[in-house]
Amino acid sequence: MPPLSQLPAELPRKKFTKTLVRLGFRIDTIGGNGSHFKATWPSTNKAVTIPRNLPKQVLKYVLEEVEACSGVTWERIQNEI
């Protein structure tokens, strides 16, 4: 996981979710709570909640959860963005 200084100031959720779909996640816009989306890794059915805004502090937390449930690293996400 990169330090906060290497993460973008804010990442658009639309761009982030499209990248996760390309990497194999299923995105459910209804399964989240309020304005949140739910990204599910198909092989384990583990889900990560993606909030509307992704400032770097929140993005770091979401990336840690993505890596824990799927093994997809920030470097791999960066290559797909």
In a domain? residue 57 = yes
Q: Is residue 61 part of a domain?
A: yes
Beta bridge partners of 46: 41
Is 1 within the bounds of a domain? no
Q: What helix, strand, coil percent values describe the chain, rounded to 5?
A: 45, 20, 40
Q: What is the pLDDT of residue 39?
A: 93
| Number of folded domains that form the chain | 1
Domain at 53, CATH number:
3.30.920.30
2, part of any domain:
no
Per-residue pLDDT at 11: 85
Q: What is the pLDDT, as a whole number, of residue 31?
A: 66
pTM of the predicted model as reported, rounded to 2 decimal places? 0.86
pLDDT of residue 80: 87
Q: pLDDT of the chain along its 81 residues, tens only?
A: 778 888 888 888 899 999 999 999 999 887 666 788 999 999 989 999 999 888 989 999 999 999 999 999 999 988 888
Residue 40 corresponds to which amino acid?
T
Query: Does 4 map to a domain?
Result: no
Domain that holds residue 20: 9-80
How many helices (DSSP H) and strands (DSSP E) are in the chain? 3, 3
